[in-house]
Amino acid sequence: MLSISIHASSPEKADRFNRLARLDIVYERLAPIADYKVSLLERNQDVRPPRTLPQYPRWSASLWDLAARAIALSLPDEPPANDQVPAFKPGGKRCAFIREMCAILDHAANDSRNTLGSAHIKQAGRRRGIYLAIFDEHTLKPHRTEPFLFVPAYFRPAELLMHACLRRLTGGDELPPRPGLCAPLPVIVDGKPYIQIHQLVEPARTGFRTWLSWFSEPAFEHPDAPLGIAPETLYVKFLSSAI
């Protein structure tokens, strides 16, 4: 399960006392192209039933892409179609705002919890409604957005996080096209198909290499693959089962 907790603090000071909202993302169907069940819990908001995010390719893009789509699905009273970003009621000069907020992205399995990323969102300067965000993620380089405007009449922390994610992903207020499944063409060695690991995009590359190391599976040397090659069957198993 992925769990994103949103806090009225910096990442270093996040705790249960300043938590504003939580987004849980779990598998409804585990497959290379998976279905997810998402649940958004917000302070001072009614609890809503979980919603389904279907047909999302695993290990294909930043986890903040998945988070943004899950929030966009969860915010409106009725689920939007086609990955639409829900509109907010603008507040103008008297907008609702927060000076500092963060989101902590954790992976929880059994009794263990690992932090995979964080987002630190701060007011940029003295003017209300102008923010900048710094994103960290375990397989990608840190990303700092340009200052962006978000001036709703009513403040919902998950909505601000979603718009910060959109700025990180596209530089604007829209979702990018859905990522495709990371499945490069294999090379044939001794009649068997192999994946060239350097051709995998992040986060699939780091995730697959880590997964191989857990099972002591080697990456075979190949003159055209600086990171080596691995049997295509193992990569399919990784996409189908690695969490």
Question: Domain tally for the chain?
Answer: 2
> What own/partner pairs with CB < 8 Å and gap ≥ 24 does 34-39 have?
34/58, 36/66, 36/70, 38/70, 38/73, 38/74, 39/74
The reply to whether 179 falls in a domain is no
- Are residues 157 and 64 part of one domain? yes
Q: What is the pLDDT of residues 83-128, one digit of tens each?
A: 889 988 888 878 999 999 999 999 987 777 889 999 999 999 888 9
The pLDDT of residue 161 is above 90? yes
- Are residues 99 and 32 part of one domain? yes
Average pLDDT along the chain:
93
The pLDDT of residue 56 is above 90? yes
- Are residues 156 and 221 part of one domain? no
- Are residues 139 and 111 part of one domain? yes
pLDDT at residue number 112: 76
Q: At what angle do helices 232-241 and 204-214 cross, to 10 degrees?
A: 100
The reply to whether 19 falls in a domain is yes
Least confident of 78-82, 120-124, 193-197: 78-82
What range defines the domain where residue 194 resides?
187-241
pLDDT at residue number 94: 85
- Are residues 46 and 162 part of one domain? yes
pTM, to two decimals: 0.92
**Across-strand partners of 144?**
134
- Are residues 73 and 146 part of one domain? yes
